């Protein structure tokens, strides 16, 4: 599932190629993949793209005249730009292709989504901030407002929640998913089952640094590819080549050599080093 680094990688590529281009045609083969909210998808036609932004795992295109397109890639969504006059193999439309946007220079933006959970939503730009998902999103972890205090405040709202589950909550920190949550906790030396309320300030400082470090590295390496993720050019991400724990069950910890363990926290597969990330001490008053 694409997380912040994957969506940011796509954003940067599209920002460089889409701004100034206009949508001149659109096709949708699955009605739920492209919908309008207050406006119709056809209202995109003829409006130049003025900006490409990201909030958490959500990608946004602003079009001239107050219309925006939100893209939620969810599980298996891919957003591919088929460039005009490319010598490289062009983007093939497949049985997973749900939406195609034709652009005025002859290029195409292709939305593939095998599992069909992804969504493209066209709406007035003025209503983007009130989008239910965006409105409750926590701070942007690579933005200036994300400091130790912001993370402290966010964690305090969930004192009984396990730290891994808190990181996956988009209301705590925007854009972190399963891969980078495990990586950030390893960086910080925190066991994924620690409760937010039990973290000391040194733990929050380490966690803040861990989140920023792994997401920055993820962006630098073009994101992570387990199965489906590719960037707008169709290339896989390289972060998992350097991941510390994610997908490395049984392999030696890069810090201490102890075998990486996989467990389940909050229903999600969770990787950690049992030596670097010590389990919380059991308290009789706390339910397991
Ligand atoms: Zn270790």
CA distance 187 to 276: 9
Q: Is-same-fold flag (4-135; 148-272)?
A: no
Q: How far is the CA of 64 from the centre of ligand 1 (A)?
A: 51
Catalytic residue among 48, 124, 268, 280, which? Answer: 268
Q: How far is the CA of 272 from the centre of ligand 1 (A)?
A: 8
- Collapsed DSSP state (helix, strand, coil) of residue 13: helix
The matching CATH number, chosen from 3.40.50.620, 1.10.8.50, 3.40.190.10, 3.30.70.100, for 148-272 is 1.10.8.50
| pLDDT value, residue 92 | 79
Six-digit token string for 1: 């599932």
| pLDDT value, residue 86 | 60
DSSP state of 194: -
57 is an active site residue: yes
Catalytic residue among 3, 6, 8, 140, which? Answer: 3
Residue boundaries of the structural domains of the chain: 4-135, 148-272
Catalytic residue among 2, 41, 139, 192, which? Answer: 2
The matching CATH number, chosen from 3.20.20.480, 3.40.50.12280, 3.20.190.10, 3.30.565.10, for 4-135 is 3.20.190.10
Choose among 177, 126, 133: nearest CA to 8: 177
| pLDDT value, residue 280 | 85
Query: Sign of the C-alpha dihedral, residues 223, 20, 103, 54?
Result: positive
Q: How far is the CA of 169 from the centre of ligand 1 (A)?
A: 26
Q: How far is the CA of 120 from the centre of ligand 1 (A)?
A: 41
Catalytic residue among 21, 54, 55, 57, which? Answer: 57
Q: How far is the CA of 228 from the centre of ligand 1 (A)?
A: 29
204: Cβ contacts below 8 Å, ≥ 6 apart: 148, 151, 152, 155
- Collapsed DSSP state (helix, strand, coil) of residue 9: helix
Q: How far is the CA of 186 from the centre of ligand 1 (A)?
A: 8
149 is an active site residue: no
Mean pLDDT, contiguous 10-residue spans, the chain (288 residues): 95 95 95 94 97 97 97 93 71 90 94 94 96 92 96 96 97 97 98 97 98 98 93 94 97 98 96 96 60
């Amino acid at each position: 599932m694409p997380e912040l680094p994957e969506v940011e990688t796509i954003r940067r590529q599209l920002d460089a190629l889409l701004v100034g281009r206009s949508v001149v045609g659109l096709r949708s083969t699955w009605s739920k993949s492209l919908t309008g909210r207050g406006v119709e998808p056809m209202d995109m036609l003829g409006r130049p793209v003025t900006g490409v932004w990201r909030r958490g795992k959500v990608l946004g295109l602003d079009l001239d005249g107050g219309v925006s397109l939100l893209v939620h890639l969810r599980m298996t969504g891919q957003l591919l730009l088929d460039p005009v006059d490319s010598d490289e193999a062009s983007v093939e439309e497949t049985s997973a292709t749900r939406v195609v946007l034709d652009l005025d220079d002859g290029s195409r933006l292709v939305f593939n989504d095998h599992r069909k959970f992804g969504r493209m939503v066209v709406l007035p730009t003025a209503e983007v901030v009130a989008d239910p998902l965006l409105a409750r999103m926590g701070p942007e972890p690579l933005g200036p407002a994300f400091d130790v205090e912001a993370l402290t405040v966010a964690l305090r709202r969930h004192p009984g929640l396990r730290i891994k589950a808190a990181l996956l909550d988009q209301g705590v920190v925007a854009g972190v998913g399963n891969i980078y949550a495990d990586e950030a906790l390893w960086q910080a030396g925190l066991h994924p089952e620690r409760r937010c309320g039990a973290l000391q300030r040194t733990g929050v400082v380490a966690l803040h640094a861990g989140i920023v470090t792994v997401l920055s590295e993820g962006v630098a390496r073009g994101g992570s590819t387990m199965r489906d993720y590719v960037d707008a050019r169709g290339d896989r991400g390289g972060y998992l080549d350097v991941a510390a724990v994610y997908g490395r069950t049984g392999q030696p910890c890069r810090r201490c050599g102890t075998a990486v363990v996989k467990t389940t926290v909050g229903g999600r597969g969770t990787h950690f080093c049992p030596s670097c990330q010590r389990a919380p001490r059991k308290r009789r008053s706390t339910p397991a």
